[in-house]
Amino acid sequence: MPDRVPTIKTTPLRVAGPEDGTTLQDLLAARLEVSRGRAKAMLDCRNVLVNGRPVWMAKHVLRKGDVVTLPGAAAVAATPPSALKVQVLLEDPAFLVVSKPPGILSDGRTGVEGLLRDRRAEPDLRAAHRLDRDTSGCLLLARTPEAFDRFVELFREHLVFKRYHALVSGIPLRRETEIRSPVDGLPALTKIRVVDSAKSTAHVLAVIVTGRTHQIRKHLAAIRHPVLGDRSYGRDRASERRAPHVPRQMLHAFEIAFPHPLTAAKVRVTCPLPRDFAATMRSLGLT
């Protein structure tokens, strides 16, 4: 079963009289009983709304009557990493493939990498690639230094296949298309296929041939079909009207395939859609 992650439901917080003049960071910390650092992490996800508009400035001053809304990914950010559940999809002596929840980094001490290192007492465990904080799905981690070095080579040689589900604003004209716009000055290729469309939104499958930072999000924004809920590349009024209550950026790493780092045997792993993604699809009439 997939991890139980937040659904499309949101939590509204109305600013009371005594809280007039409080900063957004301090209000979140006080109301949710989390540290100011955790509150800042929630804002960094760019999913917190004030009176229906995204606000991520920690020092934003609130006034009596303001309504602060926390979509699903922000709720995940408020949860201490130690409390998050990370499902192992495939375990091998050389690597793990896990289902990364949204709202947590892939690597680092406070990311999935550090969380599993501590839980499993595996000091050599390292994320072989990264998913954005708000992206869910298949994450590959090497369990030995030798496996990690081999995965670096496989990614460099473009021998790792990755496919994503995405919900986007608007409906692409072509059922299948290739996007070749450079990303950060480097060649990049993303292949897109439309699965379904409704209400001026679409469900697409994306395959990245290259692995540039934020490649899918940048490429879809470049063709004017940004990922719904993307607060960095998809912040436009049309997107907000089409899906005003998406809990996070609707991007899910559904499939990863690669040669085994030691035997070269083909490995393929898929990760079911998380509940918040499936709920958003249903709310938009998409399949």
**Amino acid 9: pLDDT:** 46
The ranges of the chain annotated as CATH 3.10.290.10 are: 11-79
The distance of Cα 41 from the centroid of its chain, to the nearest Å, equals 14
pTM, 2 dp: 0.77
Distance CA 131, CA 10 (A): 24
**Amino acid 2: pLDDT:** 36
Specify whether the CB–CB gap between 247 and 72 falls below 8 A: yes
Q: What is the pLDDT along the chain (287 residues), one digit of tens a residue?
A: 333 333 334 568 899 988 999 999 999 888 877 778 778 878 877 778 899 888 889 999 999 999 998 766 565 655 666 667 899 999 999 999 999 998 888 999 889 999 999 999 999 999 999 999 889 999 999 999 999 999 999 999 999 999 999 999 999 999 999 999 999 999 999 999 999 999 899 999 999 999 899 999 999 999 999 999 887 887 655 555 656 568 789 999 999 999 999 999 999 999 999 988 998 999 899 99
The ranges of the chain annotated as CATH 3.30.2350.10 are: 82-284
Distance CA 33, CA 282 (A): 32
Specify whether the CB–CB gap between 169 and 239 falls below 8 A: yes
Q: Considering the candidates 26, 44, 118, 132, report the single residue annotated as catalytic.
A: 132
**Amino acid 251: pLDDT:** 97
**Amino acid 82: pLDDT:** 62
**Amino acid 11: pLDDT:** 60
Q: Check the CA dihedral 215-98-254-1 and report its sign.
A: negative
- Cα distance from N-terminal residue to C-terminal residue, the chain: 20
Q: 11-79 adopts what CATH topology?
A: 3.10.290
**Amino acid 219: pLDDT:** 97
What residue has token string 């590349």? 233
CATH 3.40.50.1000 fits 82-284, yes or no: no
**Amino acid 158: pLDDT:** 93
From residue 176, give the alpha-carbon distance in Å to each of 20, 94, 193, 206, 249: 51, 36, 4, 10, 22
Specify whether the CB–CB gap between 112 and 100 falls below 8 A: yes
Q: Give the CA diameter of the chain.
A: 65
Would you call 184 a catalytic residue per the annotation? no
Specify whether the CB–CB gap between 53 and 62 falls below 8 A: no
Distance CA 81, CA 79 (A): 6
How is residue 87 written in tokens?
């499902």
